[in-house]
A and B are shown apart, each in its own frame.
Chain A
Amino acid sequence: MKNKNNVKSTIGLVFLNIFFIFLCVVTLVPVLYAFSVSINAKNDFLSSNFSFWPKEFTLKHYKSIFLESNFLSWVKNSIFLAVATVLGGIAFSVPAAYAFSRRRFKGRSGILYILLMLNAFPTVLSMAAVYRLLRTMGLINTFTGLIFLYIGNMIVFGIWNMKGYFDTIPTNIEEAAKIDGADDFKIVLKIILPLAKPSIVVTATLILIYVWNEYLYVISFITGTSKYSLAAGLYSLQVNEYTRSWPAFSAASLLISLPILVVFFIIQKHMVSGLTAGSIK
């Protein structure tokens, strides 16, 4: 009986693995395409003789990105913007999420609902308004202005995501802690946050990806190519339809995506729930 189950689950796992390998390959086709273009020596983006493995290799596009453009400045700008926004975003959202989750107060559900509905607004024309806002605050062409905008755009998601997760954490632990005299700050820091790790990680990842790929605000409000983030720098590499160098462009887009994936891979072990039956006891 035990053996039969083991065999069944092993076969199941084999199939599952095959399924996922297939899924990953299919998902990655465009990416592999971009990769093949980026190492192609002949600058062919479209070609009737296309094959995934180019006839002549070269790494010169990658080299030229590192050496000739402002790539390294872009990297540090992006890192700075991303880290600042993640920290700020979480710092602003956690207290609010805690309040919405653990307290009942007037306007609570109304505000939450409104926050969600704000996303229904088509932001196509918001640039003018945002520009006026930044200009009034004197934050045009500053990173502070950008971070401010980024945090503002991410808080709604942060609040909802973390509140939803906080809701699933039973309150008896906190009540026990309160009886022991702990204040809210300690409760959040020592009990809620560790238990809510998966949602914090998800929120942080989302913020990271948003900031990392965001180029519109940077291009509109920052002047000077060396101050661009990676995404904005990438945009600037293409100039226009007629002078775009597809291999360089593809190489740059892959380079930009890789750090995200590395981060994602590393944080995965923190996505596992800290909630086990034991924690309640």
Chain B
Amino acid sequence: MILKIKSKTEPYLYSAPALIVIALVMVLPIIYTVYISFTNMNVYHWKDFKFIGFKNYQKALFMLDSGFLMAFLRTVLWTAVNIILQLIISFLIAVLLNVKGLKLSKLYKTFLMFPWAMPGYVSILLWKMGMFNTEYGFLNHLLQKLGISKINWLSGNFTAFVSCIILNLWLALPFMIMIIDGALQSVDKCYYESAKLEGANFWNQTRYITIPLIKPIIAPMVMMTLFTTFKQFDIVYLLTQQNGSKTGADIHTVLTYAYENAFITNNYGYSSAVSIIIFLILLVYSIFNQKDIRGEA
């Protein structure tokens, strides 16, 4: 009897410390934001704010105009392109890194982690000034050497979008590569051995053994990367929209649009409502798209 109670409460006990910390650090801010979203906390009522019901949400829904819709669609496109490219490229690289006999694989892996090791905003600044800069950037330097004319990377909508994707891939691939590489380690080698005995080639092995087996491990990581990519603000903002160096490209994502239209007003009540709405949109979006995650749990 005692054993039964013990085994029933065990899992809760084991996970309690973790869950408590998460509740404080991640859940509490969300609750606080919801709370503020129902008040009129702004520059004029910084300390003496009061409850104003759904007014902020009404205001926020007005902000969801055509500009927001464009930004939303663009963000969906941005997320999809990035995730697909990341999955394919990092899978290939991870698999290739694990080919038997590749002696220097450790060295390669380490070098490939560099983009991740450097602090994010440093990388973005370096890319903005050192790589994409029209006058002095390395990319244009290269183009000129090859006899091609300079490209204004960050000012056309399409080229700016592509530039942001390149930078995002550069920053995000190391993580994906490492996750997939770790997951590949979990696949029991005997599966491959028996498959080889039955004459399966590389592609079949990959399709029928590797992918199904690593899917459960990487699925949640892909999910988290999906959110991170969707919420990505720094890259788009710092490359094209920072005050003092706007490039004229209009490639707003949901977060940059929200930033320019809500967050800079210092109206915390309003901005909180906007955050909550974005949160809900993401939740709904992911519920529809990722039923497998529920299955994985």
Which residues of A are in contact with B by a Cβ distance under 8 Å?
A: 9, 12-13, 16-17, 19-21, 23-24, 27-31, 33-34, 37, 45-48, 50, 92-93, 95-96, 98-100, 103, 105, 108-109, 111-113, 115-126, 128-130, 132-133, 148-149, 151-153, 155-157, 159-161, 164-165, 167-168, 184, 198-199, 201-202, 205-206, 209, 212-213, 215, 231, 234-235, 241, 249-250, 253-254, 256-258, 260-261, 264-265, 268-269, 271-273, 275-277
Contacts and interface: CB of A to CB of B under 8 A. Distances in A.
B113 A264 contact: yes
A265 B178 CA distance: 12
A100 B220 CA distance: 14
B208 interface: no
B233 A124 contact: yes
22 contacts: A27-B170, A30-B138, A33-B130, A34-B122, A37-B130, A92-B21, A105-B8, A111-B15, A118-B30, A121-B29, A122-B278, A124-B233, A129-B33, A148-B25, A151-B25, A152-B21, A250-B126, A261-B111, A264-B110, A265-B107, A269-B106, A276-B189
Nearest to A201: B182
A106 to B, nearest CB: 9
Contact of B217 (A103, A118, A165): A165
Contacts of A215: 119, 121
B156 interface: no
Residue with the highest number of chain B CB atoms closer than 10 Å, among A99, A121, A234: A121
Interface string B253-297: 001001100010000100110010011001100100000011011
Interface in B112-139: 112-123, 126-127, 129-131, 133, 135-136, 138
B164 to A, nearest CB: 15
Given A46-B135, A202-B178, A261-B110, A118 B27 contact: yes
B117 A151 contact: no
Contacts of A156: 22, 26, 224
B29 A23 contact: no
Interface residues of B, number: 102
Nearest to B219: A164
Given A234-B122, A275-B188, A119 B114 contact: no
Contacts of B111: 24, 27-28, 261
Contact of A165 (B117, B135, B186): B186
Given A27-B112, A161-B221, A125 B271 contact: yes
B29 A264 contact: no
A257 B141 contact: no
Given A167-B216, A202-B178, A277-B190, A261 B185 contact: no
Contact of A129 (B28, B123, B186): B28
B115 A27 contact: yes
A116 B15 contact: no
A108 B297 contact: yes
